[in-house]
Amino acid sequence: MNGLYQTFAITLMNLRSLPARIGPSLVIVVGIAGVVAVLVSLLSMAKGFSATLNGVSDEGRVVVLRGGSTDEMSSGIGTQQARLIVTKPGVAREDNDALAAGETYVIADIPKRGNDSPANLPLRGVEPTSFAIRDEVRIVQGRNIKFGRYELIAGVKAANQFQGLDVGNRLPLRGVDWEVVGLFETGGTIHESETWVDNALLVSNLNRGGGYTSMIVKLESPLDYDQFKQALDDDPQLETNPIRESDYYSGQSEGMTGLIENFGYSVGFVMAIGAVFAALNTMYSAVSTRSVEIATLRALGFGSTPVVISVMVEALVLASLGGAIGAGLAFVFFNGYTASTMGGTFSQVSFDFAVTEDLIVRGILWSLFIGLIGGLVPSIAAARQPVTVALRGM
Amino acid sequence: MRYFGLIWTSLFRKPVRSALTFGSIFIAFLLFGVLQSVSVALTEGPDLAGVDRLVVAPKYSIIDDIPLAYQERIRAIQGVGTIAHQSWFGGTYKDSTNFFPRWPVPPREFMQVYSEYAMPEEQKRAFANTRTGAIVGKTIAEKYDMNLGDKIVLIPDIWQNKDNGPWEFDLVGIYDSEDEAFQNQMFMNYEYFDEYRSFGSGGVGTFVLKLTEPARSAEIAAEIDAMFANSNDETKTSTEKAYNQMFAKQMGDIGFIMTSILSAVFFTILLLTGNTMSQAIRERIPELAILKTLGFTNVGVLIIVLTEAIFIALIAAIPAIALAGIVVQAPAIGSAMPFLADSELTNAVIIQGIGLAVLLGLVAGGPPAIRAMRLSITDALGEHA
């Protein structure tokens, strides 16, 4: 009981005297805030990117690619094959029409807003059924394209990133002007980084003589996937690679997400070492300027454990304060921040940073860990110093 | 340097504190060196790109082809030397995670245009004369344990061949280049690729030209684009450096955001370290007063204190920047984070780093040193740390 009381008393005394030692204490707070802010910001970038690509979550949709292809751009499906694919069991139907659409996914060099450097804008040729299958599409400005016309609708994220994607504008491509007639949203998924046009017109504009790069197929139920895949594999006239749409996009996000996470953790780790040095330095000087005070307490009969604990608590309080500030800064500056980069198929993907609760918790845990290491060694040193030596420092 | 002994001894006055200060400065400059190199790689693209080379690319998209027949018309333009071309092969080597670019090229012209790729003469001859020949960079050969004479099997995605099966190439050369990033590629004989693919023959991805009149590169580029304007396959010609930068820029915001977050952090660490260093000097003001009692002049004390602060900043920063140079070149890091593969510690970054270290010493040591200089000896001696 006595030990507990002592601990409480010393800790309280330490914390009360903190404002008097504001300068050195700030070193810990600011240092750790920096580490946590960087860690959380970088991880929120990875989180936002993967959320955008994993947002396409309709388990009942399948992207059919050519066998051997792993992405739409390097794939190709002929018109004949497309006719066979829609007859397979499991494909959903609406008014007797199969819910399957051939699509063509390509990229075009368009300058970005704010600088004239061209970047790869994704261009998707769609069929009328595409809209029945991708029912999350909502036109938020203007109107939808009319098939048979050189018209284009742009995802809101694409429109924000690229020059000329404003309703009423014309986009010249391979000798044809495509009129931007509307903007669409898909609830934050990757499709908002794309532009959509009539597939038939796009294919003839590309001089490809027909066919698609891939097919999007809606199944009656997500459970029909195996049956559908089996039927495609069994057909000797077909050589395809059907992938659930959700798996297709999460596969594309893995590389970049892993990359940013690795980078975030390695930089965070190196910085954490720096912050441990700073914390150690501060706690050492905090202890050394107070060595007389601590020795006096010891001389009065306070035990060494309460001294250790009190110094630890001080370090942890400062560290968690730093952690909270750092996570807060990351949240204020980066939550919802829109950035873009080159995705899996050389095409530009826009995404929003997501500072989620678990990232904040992770940041604060890191700060406590740094505080623990930064406080432990100096506190033991403080407790171990012989009372007489310390008192002589007066 | 008469007082070097004095400065050196004072570093060991509180060895733990000095070690920790050293550690924080070291970490800060390690980050600085690595991040500046990454940022240079992201914004400027690889250095190897020659100024005397032009890239002729399709105007509207990298997925389009340009007719090989354009070659003769481009050759007729004055100032154009050797013409090579590259096409994107894609495909999969064993597993889809084994990613490295593969390019069908015309071997002879390619080796003339890219003379910086070093390869033994007999391998060069073999590449020029083997229909199914292919060469890879040293890094790739080591990573996948490829040896001369090996058959390299690629599963196609875009380019199906006439037998609808895998492609086989014979490894006839392993090249080296000063820049590690450029070793990360495979080149194969275009002629074989073009004859054996099931569609698209007669097309190439981009032309790469070596100029005999590099000074006229802008003019020549404009001339090429004008020549093909309003045709079915319009072109966009730029220097190779500009072309590569366009790709580097597409990584876009990510690089910018990373480097800006991290430079904010670098300055935070410096601020903290500077603060600790200042504090350490303030504690020693009574000692400095003793120096003055012994007959050191005010300016002498100022110089000693500043030299000490700059000295500790430099002995921590220099090895840190050196380590950064090693880190960004490490192949393991390059393959884990491909965008680091193009990084290189440039002289400009080294000079900036050393400049910042000196600045750190001045800013951290300056105010307390000036205070020590101005204080009268009696006041200073009376001060308690």
Which of helix, strand or coil describes residue A189?
coil
Q: Which two tokens stand for residue A220?
A: 């009656």
**Least CB–CB distance from B63: residue in A107, A274, A341:** A107
Q: How far is CA B215 from the centre of its chain?
A: 26
Q: Per DSSP, what are the bridge partners of residue B135?
A: B173, B187
Q: Is the predicted pLDDT of residue A338 greater than 90, yes or no?
A: no
At A47-60, the pLDDT tens digits run: 888 888 888 767 88
CB neighbours (10 Å) of residue B57? 20
| Residues of chain B positioned with their CB less than 8 A from the CB of A280 | 20
Pick the range with the lowest mean pLDDT from A60-69, A218-227, B332-341: B332-341
Average pLDDT over residues A73-88: 89
Q: How far is A270 from chain B (nearest CA, A)?
A: 7
Q: Which two tokens stand for residue A99?
A: 């819910």
Q: Are A145 and A198 in contact (CB under 8 A)?
A: yes
- pLDDT for the residue numbered B223: 92
Q: Per DSSP, what are the bridge partners of residue B336?
A: none
Whose structure tokens read 């399948």? A62
DSSP state of A86: T
Using alpha carbons only, what angle is made at residue B163 by residues B159 and B167, rounded to the nearest 5 degrees?
Answer: 55
| Residues of chain B positioned with their CB less than 8 A from the CB of A285 | 17, 276, 279
The three-state DSSP-derived secondary structure of chain A is: CHHHHHHHHHHHHHHHHHHHHHHHHHHHHHHHHHHHHHHHHHHHHHHHHHHHHHCCCCCCEEEEEECCCCCHHHCCECHHHHHHHCCCCCECEECCEECEEEEEEEEEEEEECCCCCEEEEEEEEECHHHHHHCCCCEEEEECCCCCCCCEEEEEHHHHHHECCCCCCCEEEECCEEEEEEEEEECCCCHHHHCEEEEHHHHHHHCCCCCCECEEEEEECCHHHHHHHHHHHHHCCCCCEEEEEHHHHHHHHHHHHHHHHHHHHHHHHHHHHHHHHHHHHHHHHHHHHHCHHHHHHHHHCCCCHHHHHHHHHHHHHHHHHHHHHHHHHHHHHHHCCCEEEEECCCCCEEEEECCCCHHHHHHHHHHHHHHHHHHHHHHHHHHHHCCHHHHHHCC
- pLDDT for the residue numbered A126: 95
- Chain A from 335 to 374: CB within 8 A of any B CB: 339-342, 346, 348
Q: Which of A35, A45, A66, A109 to mutate to test the interface with B (most CBs of B within 10 A)?
A: A109
| Residues of chain B positioned with their CB less than 8 A from the CB of A370 | none
Q: Which residue from A327, A346, A345 is spatially nearest to A335, judged by alpha carbons?
A: A327
Give the C-alpha separation, B60 to A172, whole Å.
9
Q: Is the predicted pLDDT of residue A272 greater than 70, yes or no?
A: yes
Average pLDDT, rounded, for chain A? 86
| Residues of chain B positioned with their CB less than 8 A from the CB of A69 | 157-158
A303 shares contact with chain B (CB less than 8 Å): no
Give the C-alpha separation, B62 to B65, whole Å.
8
Residue A331's Cβ-count burial label (10 Å; 0-12, 13-18, 19+) is buried
Q: Has the ipTM of the complex gone over 0.90?
A: no
- pLDDT for the residue numbered B169: 95
B28 and A23 within 8 Å at the Cβ level: the answer is no
- pLDDT for the residue numbered A378: 80
Phi, psi dihedrals of residue A166, rounded to the nearest 5°: -120, 145
**Least CB–CB distance from A41: residue in B20, B62, B261:** B261
- pLDDT for the residue numbered A281: 78
Q: Which of B102, B249, B275 to mutate to test the interface with A (most CBs of A within 10 A)?
A: B275
- pLDDT for the residue numbered B385: 43
Q: Per DSSP, what are the bridge partners of residue B204?
A: B66
At A114-131, the pLDDT tens digits run: 777 788 899 999 999 999
**Least CB–CB distance from A346: residue in B20, B62, B156:** B62
Q: Are B38 and B243 in contact (CB under 8 A)?
A: no
Q: Per DSSP, what are the bridge partners of residue B236?
A: B57
Amino acid residing at B288: L
Q: How far is A126 from chain B (nearest CA, A)?
A: 18
Q: How far is B288 from chain A (nearest CA, A)?
A: 19
Q: Which of A30, A65, A74, A287 to mutate to test the interface with B (most CBs of B within 10 A)?
A: A74
Give the C-alpha separation, A271 to A40, whole Å.
13
At A233-256, the pLDDT tens digits run: 999 888 899 999 988 888 888 777
Q: How far is A302 from chain B (nearest CA, A)?
A: 26
Give the C-alpha separation, A332 to B323, whole Å.
34
| Residues of chain A positioned with their CB less than 8 A from the CB of B24 | 274, 277-278, 281
- pLDDT for the residue numbered B181: 65
Whose structure tokens read 């000329």? A164
Q: How far is A120 from chain B (nearest CA, A)?
A: 8
B303's CB contacts (< 8 A; 6+ apart) are: none
A281 and B17 within 8 Å at the Cβ level: the answer is yes
Give the C-alpha separation, A181 to B96, whole Å.
39
Chain A, chain B: beta-carbon pairs less than 8 Å apart: 146
| Residues of chain A positioned with their CB less than 8 A from the CB of B234 | 174
Give the C-alpha separation, A212 to A86, whole Å.
14
**Least CB–CB distance from A45: residue in B63, B245, B257:** B257
Give the C-alpha separation, A229 to A244, whole Å.
10
| Residues of chain A positioned with their CB less than 8 A from the CB of B236 | 109
| Residues of chain B positioned with their CB less than 8 A from the CB of A262 | 336-337
At A168-196, the pLDDT tens digits run: 999 988 888 999 999 999 988 889 999 99
Give the C-alpha separation, B91 to B86, whole Å.
15
At A9-43, the pLDDT tens digits run: 888 887 887 777 777 778 778 888 888 888 888 88
Ranges in chain B, pLDDT < 70: 1-2, 40-51, 179-181, 251-255, 258, 330-344, 380-385
B250 and A119 within 8 Å at the Cβ level: the answer is yes
Structural domain boundaries in chain B: 4-46+252-382, 53-251
Using alpha carbons only, what angle is made at residue A127 by residues A126 and A133, rounded to the nearest 5 degrees?
Answer: 90
| Residues of chain B positioned with their CB less than 8 A from the CB of A210 | none
| Residues of chain A positioned with their CB less than 8 A from the CB of B246 | 117-118
H/E run at residue A278: helix A245-289
Residue of B nearest to A66 (CA): B157
- pLDDT for the residue numbered B339: 53
Q: How far is A234 from chain B (nearest CA, A)?
A: 18
The pTM of the full predicted model, rounded to 2 decimals, is: 0.78
Residue B149's Cβ-count burial label (10 Å; 0-12, 13-18, 19+) is exposed
Q: How far is A310 from chain B (nearest CA, A)?
A: 22
B261 and A42 within 8 Å at the Cβ level: the answer is yes
Q: Which residue from A217, A186, A176, A177 is spatially nearest to A64, judged by alpha carbons?
A: A217
A118's CB contacts (< 8 A; 6+ apart) are: A109, A110, A111, A112, B246
Residue of B nearest to A68 (CA): B157
* CA dihedral (A59, A64, A65, A66) positive or negative: positive
Q: How far is A174 from chain B (nearest CA, A)?
A: 7
Residue of B nearest to A40 (CA): B261
- pLDDT for the residue numbered B31: 83
Q: How far is B270 from chain A (nearest CA, A)?
A: 10
- pLDDT for the residue numbered A321: 92
Q: Is the predicted pLDDT of residue A160 greater than 60, yes or no?
A: yes
A270 and B30 within 8 Å at the Cβ level: the answer is yes
- Chain A from 38 to 77: CB within 8 A of any B CB: 38, 41-42, 45, 66, 68-71, 73-76
| Residues of chain A positioned with their CB less than 8 A from the CB of B13 | none
Residue of B nearest to A283 (CA): B17
**Least CB–CB distance from A27: residue in B96, B261, B275:** B275
A257 shares contact with chain B (CB less than 8 Å): no
Give the C-alpha separation, B97 to B32, whole Å.
31
Q: Are A303 and A294 in contact (CB under 8 A)?
A: no
Q: Which two tokens stand for residue A91?
A: 């494909």
**Least CB–CB distance from A70: residue in B157, B246, B272:** B157
B31 and A267 within 8 Å at the Cβ level: the answer is yes
- pLDDT for the residue numbered B332: 57
Q: Are A347 and A49 in contact (CB under 8 A)?
A: no
Q: Are B70 and B228 in contact (CB under 8 A)?
A: yes
| Residues of chain A positioned with their CB less than 8 A from the CB of B273 | 278
A239 shares contact with chain B (CB less than 8 Å): yes
Whose structure tokens read 């960087």? A38
B254 and A339 within 8 Å at the Cβ level: the answer is yes
